[in-house]
Amino acid sequence: MPLTPTEAVVGPARAANTGVGAFNVVQIEHAEAIVAGAERAGLPVILQISENTARYHGALAPLALATLEIARAATVPVAVHLDHAESAQLVQEAVDLGFTSVMFDASKLPYQANLAATRMITDHCHRADVWVEAELGEVGGKDGAHAPHVRTDPAEARAFAAATAVDALAVAVGSSHAMIIRDAVLDLDLIARLKDSLDIPLVLHGSSGVDDSDLAKAVAAGMTKVNISTHLNQLFTRTIRERLQAAPAVADPRKYLGPAREAVAEEVSRLLRVLAGH
């Protein structure tokens, strides 16, 4: 089916008070696995490529073009999103390639500088009908920037969203990026207050550190787009490690990447059902 606009995935979920999964693509197997999982669940999904991943591959285009083609071949709605972009040039490249949304991350800047930079990106992307997500203040944990106790102020979030005209806002409510244990404690009351304060979807970053029960509670309280990366990477790597330990002489990477891809597909399918309340 045609590539699906991110708004067409997130908007209906927000209206129904359900969640949608946004999973990071590090290599082509991730894109294949995420789409396969979404098709098994019969639910829409968002594929994300981060600036860090583009840097790892040396360029955005090769992985992006493959990911876009995998998305277009899916039997369920799939959107493709640029995650945590700090470079305006990379945002422009993603727009030119056909990404349906971008997350522009100027959160390391002082408030007014973040606001100005984000508004410039939003104006440009909206002219191309590309949906924009932003982050107000750094979500805890990424490069040690903040502790998990950091919280987004609802009044500041409302003012920022109005000034920047962003389409979604990632907020700090107790999760942290790159968590390897699912023991984050979310501020569900704050999520509800943020939902009441804003008329745009809320985004939960650092969701790898949130267990199934709290993911469901976060969605019920008002979260819509739920980003998950590290959790799937742990599963992918663990499966590869197990396969190589069981057959140390194996040389064909398909023998261990294939099972890792399958494990991720099953987990994506399961997580999408959790987020959708199924």
135 appears as a binding residue in the annotation? yes
| CA pair distance 86, 15, nearest whole angstrom | 30
CA 152 to chain centre: 19
Query: How are beta strands 202-204 and 131-135 bridged, if at all?
Result: unpaired
Report the catalytic residues.
83
Contact 24, 268 (CB under 8 A): no
Tell me if 33 sits within 8 A of 9, measured CB to CB: no
Q: Is 156 annotated as a binding residue?
A: no
Instruction: Return the HEC string of 62-127.
Output: HHHHHHHHHHHCCCCCEEEEEEEECCHHHHHHHHHHCCCEEEECCCCCCHHHHHHHHHHHHHHHHH
**What residues contact 51, with CB distance under 8 A and at least 6 apart?**
82, 83, 84, 85, 86, 87, 90
10 Å Cβ neighbour count for 266?
Answer: 14
Q: Exposure pattern of 153-192 as b/e (b: 16+ CB <10 Å)? A: bbeebbebbeebebbbbbbbbbbbbebeeeebebbbebbe
Total length of the chain? 278
Q: Are the C-beta atoms of 200 and 166 separated by less than 8 Å?
A: yes
Residue 82's φ and ψ, nearest 5 degrees, are: -90, 125
Asked whether residue 69 is marked as a ligand-binding residue, the answer is: no
Q: Would the annotation count 278 as a binding residue?
A: no
Q: Which residues are annotated as a binding site for Zn(2+)?
A: 84, 105, 135, 177, 205
